Chain A
Amino acid sequence: MITLPSKFQNWFASRGWDIHPHQQAMLDQAQDPALMLIAPTGGGKTLAGFLPSLIALQDGNHQGLHTLYVSPLKALAADIKRNLRTPVAEMDLPIRIEDRTGDTSYTQKRRQRADPPHILLTTPESLALLTSYEDAPHIFKGLQRIIVDEIHALAESKRGDQLVLALSRLQSLAPDLRRVGLSATVEDPAAIARELAPHPASCAIINADPGPDPDIAMLVTDEKPPWAGGGAKYAIPAVLDEVKKHNTTLIFHNTRAQAEIFFHNLWLANTDDLPIGIHHGSLAREQREKVEGAMVAGDLRAIVCTGSLDLGIDWGDVDLVVQVGAPKNVKRLVQRIGRANHRYNAPSKALLVPANRFEVVECVAALEAVKAHDLDGDPKGPGPRDVLCQHILITACAGPFDADVLYREVTSVGAYASLSRPDFDDCLDFCATGGYALRAYDKWKRLLQRPDGQWQLRDPRAAQRIRMNIGTIQDTDTLKVRLKGNFKPLGEVEEAFAATLTPGDTFLIGGQVVRYESLKEMTVQVSRRADKKPKIATFMGTKFANSTQLSQRILRMFDQPDWPNLPDHTAEWLGLQRLHSKMPEANRILVESFPHEGRHHICVYGFAGRNAMQTLGMLLTQRMEELSLHPMGFVATDYATLIWGLDPVTDPAPLFQADNLRADFATWLSGNAVMKKTFRGAATIAGLIERNLPQARKSGRQATFSSDILYDTLSKYDPDHLMLQITREEAMRGLVDFGRIEEMLARTAGRIDHLVLDRVTPLSLPMFLEMGRISVTGAAQDRMLEEEAARLMDAAGVTQV
């Protein structure tokens, strides 16, 4: 066992601390090539990660960069810098600590490259950018340790793949590099450890004491939750009461729009003028920093927030976490609950607030899962090739490279260990020539092979553009929102949302109601409004799919003869469904048909999660289109898909034949919006589409064209192109999630119950208020367009000019 140096022992003693067993274990195993710690928030996790570095650096002999710390959030890096400086200052250690993120100034960044600090705190994207510089070998020479914080969060996305690829680069530049991962509780720690370690090395896992079980319950209100909707407005008085009873409350929402609406309503009800703030990713940085500062200072009683506050930032004395809206995923819920009571060995206190009746069921199922320690998660596929393409381009930016060496380096990454040489060569060919089968770029290749066999950029100036596009975070096109005549932005909205606005429309941003005035130089100009009710508030926010495990729990609950574990209002609602229609069952598909507002509707209960139910909607409407049933649109939730159209469906069974669905799936893949979105993401990551070109946007819209056109062209002329392969691969999981349709088909095995009813059923009711309706591009649309055009022509009194 390694004993703490006396300086450190004294410091621990001066704080009245004992070293935690997991901190000691991290110290003992500090020389492992890879090591992972699983600890709850507040367990001294960060110190456990940094302790070996602080000890190694205490004598002041190390020159240059020693430890790199990578976290998914910029805010986390800033927070760690603050926390780490305390022991360093108090022990008077000769250690320079700096952070480097997208927010760091240009001069500071340049200085860091010339003279790196001992400890550098950064994000995966900033790290990837660092590895793209010609002087990367100088920057990383002598690097000893890398600490990846919140690795469980990174591992869920392509950001994690980008990070581990960057690690393989660093390992070549600094062969002594040792890797440390810090993680919250996850369902499969070994999988994350494999990603962290250089393949095929093993990675020890140290488990800290998880602490006592959380104190978690569903918020009981006098007011009944509404039939549908996501605002949870009914719960505002009850939530406000809880805020009053606690020091600091975090109020989590699943989407930014919901956070905005809730905050707005909370503020209207806040007659005591309690200091309450809002924090989410669409807000301007200045706005977010103001809230973060106020929170650290203990000036806020509550913060309405989204996933942007999900991760382990130490925000001080949070003693209650409120989750508004069903948590969708038990693991995420457990991690959020961990944000309360940031003291080791004290139970976290959390309340779940269902936004509507169905979410009551989901919340009860999630509560039971938490009590049973039943975490959920889906195994991850092999490393995505679009991220590899970007990695190859980044490598080329740093200087000429040898393909064999790079291939060996890439396959030393767990996620890419099984990448075949031909697959690697395809990616390299894509980066070099575009990889087109039928038509080659002769003159204008991106990478050229030199006579000595090394690959380099044809035009070195291209490095600049490649660097500007580093990263794997999908940015939907967003536009800044500004008050008229004011330079400071209020935040951002999606371009698609902005396109729906007409002057006079009001919407919520940063808790204020604003009026849309105009679109000027790609900025949404607004004015402040005193209105209490905004017209709309539907901008971006991730919608997570309900996990398979949670869906199964809900179906088991539906099977009960009655529901004593549910509040009366919800049990009664389910009772009505059983009376007027029937309850969905795990091994059958329930299809309800009914008319509503002059359209024929079918509601399909498949419980396959939002993404798969959306895909099912696409497939079913496509088949209905072929059968001339004129489907017009659909909307999907985690449990059902509602389709409306001009003609009724009399026999749904053929729609669900597995072989038909699979065949349709293959055809459908080539022409649908989700695929186009997926393609856009992959093509942007792989460097086929550029994202950061503000000057291109300014020069007028006719110069740019939609990536959908590229997708259509490739599908037609080069269907086996790498980008389409990647798009199809992602289609099986993620947004398209055909895997879960297969799961649904397997468990229901053709057993379909079709009920023809005369009105909207209790369980389908919430679907009518769901956002995210998708219209079907087909004959019905052309018919509607023609009808609408004829109506407009008529109304305008012009048939011929």
Chain B
Amino acid sequence: MRKEQFMNAYHFTFCGTICHALPSGALYLPEHSVLCVSDLHLGKSDRIARRSGIMLPPYEVQETLQKLESDIGATAPDCVICLGDSFDDLDAAASLAEDMRLWLTRLQAGKRWVWIEGNHDPGPVDLGGTHLNEVQVAKLTLRHIATGARDEISGHYHPKHRVTGRSRPAFLYDQERLIMPAYGAYTGGLSSQSADLRRLFSEPLIAIMTGHKAIPVPVR
């Protein structure tokens, strides 16, 4: 990993696997050379315009891909796993602009690429890579929505955590499961204090704040 990203990442062991939580909200598993990102929500502006007529700045795809490109560049993974809700819906995936499509193809070149299905994108997309419901990395299962099983990494909830008055997207994990923050540019979040999230975890629960530097904080 590049030095700067390495310095700013948080290194920890989760279910016996070494993990680097990157400040961007991506998770790198160095033993397996896997980079995992969740909830990219590509094409969100397209879907909103189609449904409501409101035309948000249509730059979230390039913003998100740029971030992804930088993380891929820094970690040089053999495998990239997108943990579901990669597209805001299947139509948005289908109408991705040509230059963005090519960019994705460039990012995919020379590595294994896995699209995990999410509730927003519950079907195959015509964009290369493998489409799976879930994927196994050593003893860990990676899927979109947490099931309550042990040794699980999931996304879906867009967790955020608040420390010293400021709320940031955050990884949440206890001894058995980890939930990833949303990686996409146009994504909101769900507070780590919400009942929907809290009931998935047991104590002690740790949040890793994203931002300039990945910083772990206990959640009370």
Contact partners of A792 in chain B: CB under 8 A = 163, 217-218
B73 at the binding interface (Cβ < 8 Å): no
Contact partners of A690 in chain B: CB under 8 A = 52, 54
Q: Is the CB of B188 within 8 A of A705?
A: yes
Q: Is the CB of B212 within 8 A of A782?
A: yes
| Nearest neighbor of B194 in chain A, beta-carbon distance | A701
Q: Is the CB of A775 within 8 A of B165?
A: yes
A162 to chain B, nearest CB (A): 20
Q: Is the CB of A434 within 8 A of B55?
A: yes
B26 to chain A, nearest CB (A): 18
Interface segment among A35-43, A410-418, A458-466: the answer is A458-466
Q: Is the CB of B157 within 8 A of A788?
A: no
Contact with A along B56-83 (1 / 0, CB 8 A): 1111101100000000000000000000
A592 to B60, CA, bound (A): 46
Q: Is the CB of A713 within 8 A of B57?
A: yes
Q: Is the CB of A458 within 8 A of B53?
A: yes
Interface segment among B101-109, B122-130, B203-211: the answer is B203-211
Count of interface residues, chain B, beta-carbon cutoff 8 Å: 49
Contact partners of B158 in chain A: CB under 8 A = 702
A778 to chain B, nearest CB (A): 10
Mark out the residues of chain B between 121 and 173 whose CB falls within 8 Å of any chain A CB in the assembled complex: 157-158, 163-166, 173
If A702-B189, A793-B217 touch, does A717 touch B57 (CB 8 Å cutoff)? yes
Contact partners of A458 in chain B: CB under 8 A = 53
Q: Which of A446, A716, A784, A795 contacts B59 (CB 8 A)?
A: A716
Contact partners of A789 in chain B: CB under 8 A = 163, 209, 215-217
Mark out the residues of chain B between 33 and 65 whose CB falls within 8 Å of any chain A CB in the assembled complex: 46, 49-50, 52-60, 62-63
A30 to B70, CA, bound (A): 70
Contact with B along A111-144 (1 / 0, CB 8 A): 0000000000000000000000000000000000
If A434-B58, A688-B54 touch, does A702 touch B95 (CB 8 Å cutoff)? no
Q: Which of B12, B53, B59, B97 contacts A718 (CB 8 A)?
A: B59
Contact partners of A701 in chain B: CB under 8 A = 188-191, 194
B21 at the binding interface (Cβ < 8 Å): no
A433 at the binding interface (Cβ < 8 Å): yes
Contact with B along A677-694 (1 / 0, CB 8 A): 000000000011110000
Q: Interface centre among B54, B55, B166, B186, by most A CB within 10 Å?
A: B55
Q: Is the CB of B164 within 8 A of A786?
A: no
A801 to B12, CA, bound (A): 8
Q: Is the CB of B188 within 8 A of A721?
A: no
Q: Is the CB of B212 within 8 A of A439?
A: no
Contact partners of A784 in chain B: CB under 8 A = 164
| Nearest neighbor of A715 in chain B, beta-carbon distance | B57
Contact with B along A703-744 (1 / 0, CB 8 A): 111100110011011100100000000000000000000000
A372 at the binding interface (Cβ < 8 Å): no
B157 to chain A, nearest CB (A): 6
Q: Is the CB of B59 within 8 A of A439?
A: yes
Q: Is the CB of B53 within 8 A of A710?
A: no
Contact partners of A795 in chain B: CB under 8 A = 218
A297 at the binding interface (Cβ < 8 Å): no
Q: Is the CB of A785 within 8 A of B58?
A: no
Q: Which of B55, B57, B215, B216 contacts A446 (CB 8 A)?
A: B55
Contact partners of A434 in chain B: CB under 8 A = 49, 55-58
B185 at the binding interface (Cβ < 8 Å): yes
Q: Is the CB of A436 within 8 A of B217?
A: no
B182 to chain A, nearest CB (A): 7
Contact size range, A: 35 or more
B187 at the binding interface (Cβ < 8 Å): yes
A85 to B146, CA, bound (A): 65
Q: Is the CB of B53 within 8 A of A714?
A: no
If A444-B53, A789-B209, A792-B217 touch, does A713 touch B59 (CB 8 Å cutoff)? yes
Q: Is the CB of B59 within 8 A of A438?
A: yes
A554 at the binding interface (Cβ < 8 Å): no
Q: Is the CB of B57 within 8 A of A465?
A: no
A727 to B20, CA, bound (A): 39
Contact partners of B218 in chain A: CB under 8 A = 792-793, 795-796, 798
A705 to B181, CA, bound (A): 14
A560 at the binding interface (Cβ < 8 Å): no
Q: Is the CB of B58 within 8 A of A439?
A: yes
Q: Is the CB of A782 within 8 A of B213?
A: yes
A613 at the binding interface (Cβ < 8 Å): no
Q: Is the CB of B164 within 8 A of A788?
A: yes
Contact partners of A703 in chain B: CB under 8 A = 188
Q: Is the CB of A706 within 8 A of B188?
A: yes
Contact partners of B194 in chain A: CB under 8 A = 701
A435 to B196, CA, bound (A): 39
A614 to B33, CA, bound (A): 49
A411 to chain B, nearest CB (A): 26
Q: Which of A688, A781, A798 contacts B166 (CB 8 A)?
A: A781
A717 to B45, CA, bound (A): 15
Q: Which of B56, B182, B209 contacts A688 (CB 8 A)?
A: B56
Contact partners of B206 in chain A: CB under 8 A = 798, 801
A15 at the binding interface (Cβ < 8 Å): no
Contact partners of A688 in chain B: CB under 8 A = 54-56
A436 to B62, CA, bound (A): 14
Contact partners of B220 in chain A: CB under 8 A = 796
| Nearest neighbor of A447 in chain B, beta-carbon distance | B53
A700 at the binding interface (Cβ < 8 Å): yes
A698 at the binding interface (Cβ < 8 Å): no
A701 to B192, CA, bound (A): 12
A714 to B63, CA, bound (A): 11
Q: Is the CB of B211 within 8 A of A782?
A: yes
A688 to B217, CA, bound (A): 36
If A716-B63, A775-B165, A785-B209 touch, does A459 touch B53 (CB 8 Å cutoff)? yes
A270 to B165, CA, bound (A): 38
| Nearest neighbor of A440 in chain B, beta-carbon distance | B58
A317 to B175, CA, bound (A): 70
Q: Is the CB of B163 within 8 A of A788?
A: yes
Contact partners of B49 in chain A: CB under 8 A = 434, 441, 444, 446
Contact partners of B204 in chain A: CB under 8 A = 796, 798, 801
A700 to B187, CA, bound (A): 12
Q: Which of A465, A721, A786, A798 contacts B215 (CB 8 A)?
A: A786
| Nearest neighbor of B95 in chain A, beta-carbon distance | A443
A247 to B110, CA, bound (A): 86
A786 to B8, CA, bound (A): 12
A689 to B45, CA, bound (A): 12
Q: Interface centre among A713, A717, A721, by most B CB within 10 Å?
A: A713
A775 to B63, CA, bound (A): 27
If A702-B158, A789-B209, A801-B204 touch, does A710 touch B56 (CB 8 Å cutoff)? yes
If A439-B58, A705-B186 touch, does A465 touch B50 (CB 8 Å cutoff)? no
Where the two chains meet, the residues of A that have a C-beta atom closer than 8 Å to any C-beta of B are: 433-434, 436, 438-441, 443-446, 457-459, 462, 465, 687-690, 700-706, 709-710, 713-714, 716-718, 721, 775, 777, 781-782, 784-786, 788-789, 792-793, 795-796, 798, 800-801
Closest 9 CB pairs of A and B: A434-B55, A705-B188, A444-B49, A702-B158, A796-B218, A462-B53, A717-B59, A702-B190, A446-B53
A444-B50, A444-B53 known; 17 new pairs, CB 8 Å cut-off, are A436-B55, A444-B49, A444-B55, A446-B54, A459-B53, A462-B53, A702-B157, A709-B185, A710-B57, A713-B185, A718-B59, A775-B165, A788-B164, A789-B163, A789-B217, A795-B218, A801-B175
A sample of 19 cross-chain residue pairs with beta-carbon separation below 8 angstroms, ordered by A number, consists of A436-B57, A436-B59, A444-B55, A465-B52, A701-B191, A709-B185, A713-B60, A713-B186, A716-B63, A717-B63, A718-B59, A782-B213, A785-B166, A786-B213, A788-B163, A795-B218, A801-B14, A801-B173, A801-B174
